[in-house]
Amino acid sequence: MNIAELLAAFPTRRILVVGDLMLDHYILGDVHRISPEAPVPVVQATGQTRVAGGAANVAHNLAAVGVRTEVFGLLGQDEAARFLTEILEQNGVAAARCPRRAGTPTIVKTRVVARRQQLCRIDHEGPRSLYDPLSDEAGAAALAAAVAEADAVIVSDYAKGVVTQALLDRVRELAKASGALVAVDPKPSRRLDLRGFGLLTPNKGEALQLAGLAEPAAGEEYPLADICARIHAEFAPAVLVVTLGADGMAISRGGRVEQVLPTEAREVFDVSGAGDTVIAFLAAALACGALPVAAARIANLAAGVVVSKMGTATVSPAELMKLS
């Protein structure tokens, strides 16, 4: 399938994004002096903006190209949750089935940016134990209902507490019954059982961890073929895509590297959210019946667009068509 065919097919699919939902808050300003109180810049704030972050950014990427999208993750009953649900709903992402819990702060990442340079980040979040959405029967029932309606499920793990082994096991069970594709963006340090999913999308470092290999010494070649063989032997994903940063992305099936696509990025301004874009487009394309290499091509193009923008961002169909 080519780019135009995939863009036409995306609105026919429904995808559920499960994971750590966050609000990305940007304080924008300028710096003209150093504080007399400490050797730090004084930022004269000129504005602020809020966008979807974490798993919510994956969903935003899907909705931006017409995919019928829903999110499932735990939210608080606070102002940040109100901001985030408004952003999602305004962009066509359903969030009504997300459990909401008083006393659990919605995760917020506040970035202070001056002249397009991030000066610091301030995180507001609670302990991981607060974010388990399956800790009551209502959450478990909501997840089951959402998976049953989905053509694909993306598990976006930012290690904040939503994605547990119990949740992965439940998603695997529900998706097997419904026939939905399950794609996982893993955090290998958490040592969760990732066996038998339809798609895994680790970056270079995460792939090394999944394969049980150490970082190559200076001057040594990245052992891509060995990594893919080891990950397949351990976890048997139907499709493995390793994002390689400036070196593009590798597509593997059956433990063998099928193709390495060079990066499509022309100008890299901000890589935050690029992994969200990759898994969103890969899962959407595979759910539409695209072969893995074709799915990777559109994901690679989309990632090349978003890294040229500030912060977590999305790509439009028009932007993709210009590059096709």
Decide: helix, strand or coil at residue 211. helix
| Higher-scoring residue by pLDDT: 314, 239 | 239
The pLDDT, as a whole number, for residue 270 is 46
pLDDT tens track for 228-252:
999 999 999 999 999 998 888 999 9
Residues annotated as part of the active site:
276
Rounded CA separation 321/315 (Å): 11
Rounded CA separation 183/9 (Å): 19
231 and 318 Cβ atoms separated by less than 8 Å: no
Average per-residue pLDDT for the chain:
92
Mean of pLDDT values over 201-228: 92
The pLDDT, as a whole number, for residue 1 is 79
Mean of pLDDT values over 293-306: 90
pTM higher than 0.85? yes
- In 3D space, the residue among 58, 242, 226 whose CA is nearest the CA of residue 153 turns out to be 58
The pLDDT, as a whole number, for residue 37 is 95
The pLDDT, as a whole number, for residue 271 is 55
User: Does the structure show a pLDDT above 70 at 312?
Assistant: no
Total Cβ atoms within 10 A of residue 9: 18
User: Does the structure show a pLDDT above 90 at 219?
Assistant: no
pLDDT tens track for 57-105:
999 999 999 999 999 999 999 999 999 999 999 999 999 999 999 999 9
* Structural domains in the chain, sorted by start: 3-30+41-323 (3.40.1190.20)
Rounded CA separation 110/90 (Å): 21
Q: What percent of the chain shows pLDDT beyond 70? A: 96
